[in-house]
């Protein structure tokens, strides 16, 4: 789809707004995203969100705050610090990126910018690829766009730094894999593994998804529901732990952290009542995915991948951390599956999916309210030069 002269004018207006008043550019980009059927509108929105994210003030306990410290350590320690960090993890891409970007003179806020820019650009690109050449009226198109936008939880992607980006890259690889672009698919799978080693389980189920029949897919959904409902957490944990001796020492140590002790079973207990409610709300898309798969009978590779991702979530449900992390996969897959099966019962499917993702978006805004208020005070009055030079200090 080529860019018309009118589109070039719209892009120019957006870039001008970024320079003089970034907040208005974000509003303008959102308007373009839901009204213009061109991928450039999605990229402009991703750019505006990335600019906003560079001044997002995280909680001191968030992964993003820890990665800010890692960034400063590598920036100050140079190559020797990079080598030290590389020895601690099997997934090395983030550390290598920090080394080169710090040498180029970028501040730690470049992490926020790049993670959000890539995550939203890739996921929105998938949206445009799926809606391309489909007959969709304006209202449906706008609602589909909002579902995709709400599905990609800004807080999870930004504060998790690597996890959300790795999942989005895996899903992009799945798109190529389904469409027989095998070389690109495996290249992206490798990149996802280099971003976060926990992508391995996602890659396995995505590779299997192409060979699942319709009957098998129904069985997978039933087994997944049983694993989630039955009190067999200890058996699941024992099964996962049997893989530890076959992994590298770094990988097994990291996985053991998520299956035993605080991050395995104690994390959820320390959440406040509001925190638990928010965590439960993030589980609602999983329930919607089960309803979707059982209620609407279609046949697609995305449906197979969605079913297997629910099985994966059920298999790790004994661990609070693994459950929350892997639940992002079906949350992002459901809108894609929905779009790929758009030919039948479109209004009924929208009635199921749209309210769920609106609720998810509201929960994200509420859980991020302190950071958004702190950031918003600055974003309301800043020009792009002030944003570039802003120094984020976690609260």
Average pLDDT over residues 83-100: 89
Average pLDDT over residues 192-200: 92
Question: Which of 46-50, 209-213, 274-278 shows the lowest per-residue confidence on average (mean pLDDT)?
Answer: 274-278
Residue 316: what pLDDT? Answer: 86
Average pLDDT over residues 229-256: 61
379 pLDDT higher than 80: no
Nearest to 318 by CA among 259, 244, 390, 383: 259
Q: How many CB atoms are located within 10 Å of the residue 378 CB?
A: 15
Residue 253 banded pLDDT, cuts 50, 70, 90: low
Give the residue with greater pLDDT, 156 vs 106.
106
Average pLDDT over residues 15-36: 89
* Token pair in block for residue 357: 């993702």
CB-based burial label for 347 (10 Å; 0-12, 13-18, 19+): exposed
Rounded CA separation 27/19 (Å) = 14
How far, in Å, are 175, 195, 278, 294, 308 from residue 181 at the CA level?
9, 21, 38, 30, 21
Residue 343: what pLDDT? Answer: 80
Q: What percent of the chain has pLDDT over 90?
A: 48
Residue 156: what pLDDT? Answer: 84
How far, in Å, are 59, 85, 301 from residue 305 at the CA level?
34, 34, 6
Q: What average pLDDT does the structure give for the chain?
A: 85
Are the C-beta atoms of residues 308 and 223 closer than 8 Å to each other?
Answer: no
Average pLDDT over residues 127-148: 89
Nearest to 249 by CA among 94, 87, 92: 87
Q: Measure the CA angle with vertex 219, ends 214 and 225; round to 5°.
A: 130
266-289 residue pLDDT tens: 555 666 666 667 778 888 999 999
288-300 residue pLDDT tens: 999 999 998 887 8
Residue 254 banded pLDDT, cuts 50, 70, 90: low
165-183 residue pLDDT tens: 999 999 999 999 999 899 9
Residue 256: what pLDDT? Answer: 61
Residue whose structure tokens are 């007959």? 135
Rounded CA separation 338/341 (Å) = 5
Average pLDDT over residues 354-382: 82
Q: Measure the CA angle with vertex 271, ends 267 and 276; round to 5°.
A: 110
Residue 159 banded pLDDT, cuts 50, 70, 90: confident
Rounded CA separation 319/109 (Å) = 31
């Amino acid at each position: 789809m080529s860019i018309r002269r009118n589109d070039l004018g719209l892009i120019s207006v957006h870039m001008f707004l970024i320079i003089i008043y970034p907040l208005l550019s974000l509003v303008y980009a959102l308007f373009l995203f839901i009204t213009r059927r061109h991928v450039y509108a999605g990229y402009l929105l991703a750019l505006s969100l990335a600019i906003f994210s560079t001044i997002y003030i995280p909680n001191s306990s968030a992964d993003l705050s820890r990665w800010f410290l890692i960034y400063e350590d590598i920036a100050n320690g140079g190559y020797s610090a990079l080598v030290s960090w590389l020895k601690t993890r099997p997934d090395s891409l983030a550390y290598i990126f920090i080394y080169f970007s710090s040498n180029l003179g970028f501040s730690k806020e470049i992490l926020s910018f790049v993670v959000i820019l890539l995550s939203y650009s890739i996921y929105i690109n998938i949206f445009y690829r799926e809606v391309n050449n489909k007959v969709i009226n304006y209202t449906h198109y706008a609602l589909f766009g909002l579902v995709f936008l709400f599905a990609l939880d800004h807080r999870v992607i930004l504060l998790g730094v690597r996890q959300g980006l790795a999942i989005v890259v895996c899903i992009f690889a799945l798109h190529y894999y389904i469409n027989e672009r095998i070389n690109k698919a495996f290249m992206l799978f490798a990149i996802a593994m280099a971003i976060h080693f926990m992508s391995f389980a996602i890659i396995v189920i995505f590779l299997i998804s192409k060979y699942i029949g319709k009957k098998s897919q129904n069985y997978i959904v039933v087994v997944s529901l049983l694993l989630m409902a039955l009190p067999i957490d200890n058996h699941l944990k024992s099964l996962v732990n049997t893989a530890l001796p076959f992994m590298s020492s770094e990988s097994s140590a990291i996985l053991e952290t998520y299956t035993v002790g605080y991050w395995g079973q104690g994390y959820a207990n320390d959440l406040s009542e509001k925190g638990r409610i928010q965590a439960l709300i993030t589980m609602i898309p999983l329930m919607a995915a089960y309803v979707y798969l059982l209620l609407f009978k279609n046949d697609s590779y995305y449906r197979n991948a969605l079913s297997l991702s629910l099985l994966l979530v059920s298999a790790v449900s004994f661990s609070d951390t693994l459950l929350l992390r892997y639940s992002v996969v079906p949350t992002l897959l459901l809108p894609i599956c929905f779009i790929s099966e758009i030919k039948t019962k479109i209004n009924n499917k929208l009635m199921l999916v749209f309210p769920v993702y609106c609720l998810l978006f509201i929960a994200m805004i509420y859980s991020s309210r302190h950071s958004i208020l702190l950031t918003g005070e600055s974003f309301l009055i800043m020009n792009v030069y002030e944003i570039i030079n802003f120094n984020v200090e976690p609260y």
